[in-house]
A = this chain, B = another copy of it.
Amino acid sequence: MTTISRALSDHHSIGPATKQKVLKLAKKLNYQPNHLAAALRKGKSKLLGVVVPYIEGRFFPSVVHGIESAASKAGYSVIICQSNEDVAHERKNIETLLSAQVAGILVSLSRTTLDFKHFDKVRKRGIPLVFFDRTMEGDNVNAVVLNDRDGGFQSTKHLLQQGCTRIAHFAGLQHLNIYKNRRQGYLDALQLYGLPHDEELIVYCDMTLEEGMAGMRRLLELPNPPDAVFSAGDSSLLGALQLLKQRNIRVPQDVALAGFSNEGFTAITEPMLTSVDQRCEEMGQAAVRLFLELVEAKGSTFSHRQVVLQPELFIRDSSLHQNK
């Protein structure tokens, strides 16, 4: 038995002849290793758990794609769970993954997660935990995030450079780091250009098409409406575009637009939409890389680590004020 095991797992202390014989017979008998048994014995599986709020749109599918590719290269299989933007569900997902004896867990928080106790158990068990995109605040977490603040900054600065002077912002839920930071970047840019922080111009809403339309409608009713909108999401920006078109307000001449996520449709609308790319695939890969580092460093005094990816602004017609 031992010999067989050694032959199959490329162990030292085994004669090359014996090894060949074993391998040959294994193939002939159609031997199938049982990872479960190995995991049980070793106390370490080759399963990697992933929890995402949902699997739709461009972002999460792409990140998952990146995760799966990188994990698979390192010999790990990926277990996917959806929290459906619900903490209770998220808690259950974590429980499930722990029971499945995963080697590590990658999480992007649900929007209803305000309490983080369910992650204590993961840490206590010494299982590598990496957040991506939507993360817990604090230094004692491992996380891969986008520099959302810089994304908001770049985008807004670009609008300012185009000559816009009254820039509105569609802001998402402020308890989520990503939306908070995008808003902060927006404010940074305004300040750099000496413009006031005007809460009247900030619309707090969900980043959906409908709420984008509603938000734009509200902004147009202002005594002094904006000449640009920076949205923390693309769908809401699309809503704004559609409303503006309905009212025959020209984009970008009357109102310039810039969004966030670089969704596929931004290159299809007329005009095409300027947007910040989130490096989805890279984020997935980086998360796996960080996980692998944590596995390597097991037991040693590996301190927590944040990986920050640099966003890239894709400038398209919706923000180019050629005719202004």
Contact = CB atoms under 8 A, between A and B. Distances in A.
Nearest to A92: B72
A39 interface: yes
A68 B96 CA distance: 13
A79 B82 contact: no
A34 B238 CA distance: 47
Interface residues of A, number: 42
B68 A101 contact: no
Copies of chain A in the complex: 2
Contacts of A96: 77
Contact of A40 (B33, B34, B238): B34
A2 interface: no
Interface in A44-64: 45, 47, 54-56, 60-62, 64
A102 B108 CA distance: 26
A100 interface: yes
B80 A68 contact: yes
A35 interface: yes
B61 A55 contact: yes
B81 A121 contact: no
Contact of A65 (B54, B62, B78, B269): B54
Interface string A77-96: 11111100000000000001
A281 to B, nearest CB: 10
A100 B69 CA distance: 18
A270 B268 CA distance: 9
Contacts of A77: 79, 81, 96-97, 100
Contacts of A34: 40, 99, 101
Nearest to A75: B96
24 contacts: A30-B121, A32-B98, A32-B125, A34-B99, A34-B101, A35-B99, A36-B36, A36-B100, A47-B100, A55-B65, A56-B65, A64-B80, A65-B82, A68-B80, A69-B82, A72-B81, A77-B81, A77-B96, A78-B79, A79-B79, A264-B264, A264-B265, A265-B265, A270-B270
Interface of A: 30, 32-37, 39-40, 45, 47, 54-56, 60-62, 64-65, 68-69, 72, 77-82, 96-101, 121, 125, 238, 264-265, 268-270
Given A35-B99, A78-B80, 17 more contacts: A32-B98, A32-B125, A36-B40, A36-B45, A54-B65, A55-B62, A56-B65, A68-B82, A69-B82, A77-B96, A77-B97, A78-B79, A78-B81, A238-B268, A264-B264, A268-B269, A270-B270
- Of all A-B residue pairs in the complex, the 3 with the closest CB atoms, nearest first, are A61-B61, A55-B65, A35-B99
